[in-house]
Amino acid sequence: MLRLGYPATIAAEWLRDLPAGIELVPVSDKMDHDVEIDVWIPDPYAARAMRAWPRLRGVKLVLSMLAGTEWIPGTVGPHVTICNARGAHNISTAEWTLTAILAMLKYLPLYLDIQASGLWKRRFEASAHYARITADPRPMHPDVMQEELTGKTVLLVGYGAIGQEIERMLAPFHVQMLRVARTARATPPVHPVAELDRLLPQAEIVVLILPANPQSIGLIGRRQLALMRQGALLVNAARGPVVDTDALVQALQSGRIRAALDVTDPEPLPAGHPLWSCPNLIITPHIGGSTPQFTPRSLRVAADELRRYMNGEPLRNVVQAAVDRNP
């Protein structure tokens, strides 16, 4: 019988969608003995999963509950097949992205501060905020109290399943969409990464939703931030190292751009780090995929892969194919 290791922190009721004919083995980072399993669903918290790994024997397939699998290959090695949870977090991450965009354009950080102060007249600070971030000093009547998303140009950097879901959610706002991915496509038009610098000045909103790999680390550096138009909004729902943190801090402190981050570099972001106090910035602590639907959706993806594995069918979400130990 196939033995499946799963996080001991997951309630048994969430495992009901897994196929019959398997033996379920709870895995914890506090185990004091080795366990033999064929397939491993790691704890979504990488630190706990890595502490558990030395106790596991016989693992041939890893089914991640996350879309990102950066830590897994270096932990399990090349002789294990790795699949991610592609598709499981499309909705939650896309909703976070849309929320972050609207929060920044509607000046919610300012209005929350005004609410805490209890001073209604402070609402006129919004007009000065608009003038500073856009470098548009023209007098407005009535005063500008927020901005609109409708009609803006959005550059999606990364056009996988989550990027496509973000585009679907943005569609009612009639935005102008620019798309960048590793590989160019004709329909819909997707530009190669080599054209990123050319496209950045055209966008009012830049959304990063691409995996962290040697090609994407540092993709958004000083030159790219300088190419963004005055007052543009950078939204990072990808991975922190995709953006040069020092360059981002400088761009925010200078008032050139604004940003919304669910991920940072370093992460966790330490107390006292300059990012915490940057102007024109929202930070959430890597919670974009964390909703009550996280576990059931992830395990449904894992269950589908497991059925395929048991039936000898091709797996859908392979990010690393196992290298034969004895070629």
Looking at residue 140, its pLDDT comes to 86
Q: Are residues 212 and 299 in the same domain?
A: no
316 in a domain, yes or no?
Answer: yes
CATH classification at residue 77: 3.40.50.720
Q: What is the mean pLDDT of residues 173-192?
A: 95
Looking at residue 326, its pLDDT comes to 65
126 in a domain, yes or no?
Answer: no
pLDDT in tens, 263-303: 999 999 999 999 999 999 999 999 999 999 999 999 999 99
Q: What is the mean pLDDT of residues 39-60?
A: 96
Q: Are residues 95 and 201 in the same domain?
A: yes
121 in a domain, yes or no?
Answer: no
Give the domain extent around 182: 90-106+147-283
274 in a domain, yes or no?
Answer: yes
Q: Are residues 64 and 99 in the same domain?
A: no
41 in a domain, yes or no?
Answer: yes
Catalytic residue (choose from 229, 286, 300, 308): 286
Looking at residue 172, its pLDDT comes to 98
**pLDDT band, residue 137 (cuts 50/70/90):** confident
Catalytic residue (choose from 168, 267, 307, 313): 267
Q: Are residues 277 and 200 in the same domain?
A: yes
Is 51 annotated in the active site? no
Q: What is the mean pLDDT of residues 235-258?
A: 97
For the cut 90, the answer to whether the pLDDT of residue 181 exceeds it is yes
Q: Are residues 207 and 310 in the same domain?
A: no
Catalytic residue (choose from 239, 256, 258, 297): 239
Q: Taking phi first (over 0 means left), then psi (-120 to 50 degrees means alpha), and beta for anything else, what does residue 68 get? A: beta
Q: Are residues 99 and 242 in the same domain?
A: yes
Q: Are residues 208 and 94 in the same domain?
A: yes
Q: What is the mean pLDDT of residues 169-196?
A: 96
129 in a domain, yes or no?
Answer: no
For the cut 80, the answer to whether the pLDDT of residue 325 exceeds it is no
Is 95 annotated in the active site? no
Q: Are residues 82 and 176 in the same domain?
A: no
Q: Are residues 168 and 276 in the same domain?
A: yes
Looking at residue 327, its pLDDT comes to 59
Contact 46, 71 (CB under 8 A): yes
How many domains does the chain divide into?
2
Looking at residue 261, its pLDDT comes to 98
Q: What is the mean pLDDT of residues 121-134?
A: 95
Q: Are residues 8 and 97 in the same domain?
A: no
Q: Are residues 75 and 102 in the same domain?
A: no
Q: What is the mean pLDDT of residues 147-157?
A: 98
CA dihedral 182, 187, 189, 195 (to 10 degrees): 30
* Average pLDDT of the residues of the chain: 95
**pLDDT band, residue 68 (cuts 50/70/90):** confident
Looking at residue 324, its pLDDT comes to 81
Is 48 annotated in the active site? no
Q: Are residues 66 and 94 in the same domain?
A: no
Contact 216, 243 (CB under 8 A): no
* Residue that the structure tokens 């959430």 belong to: 284
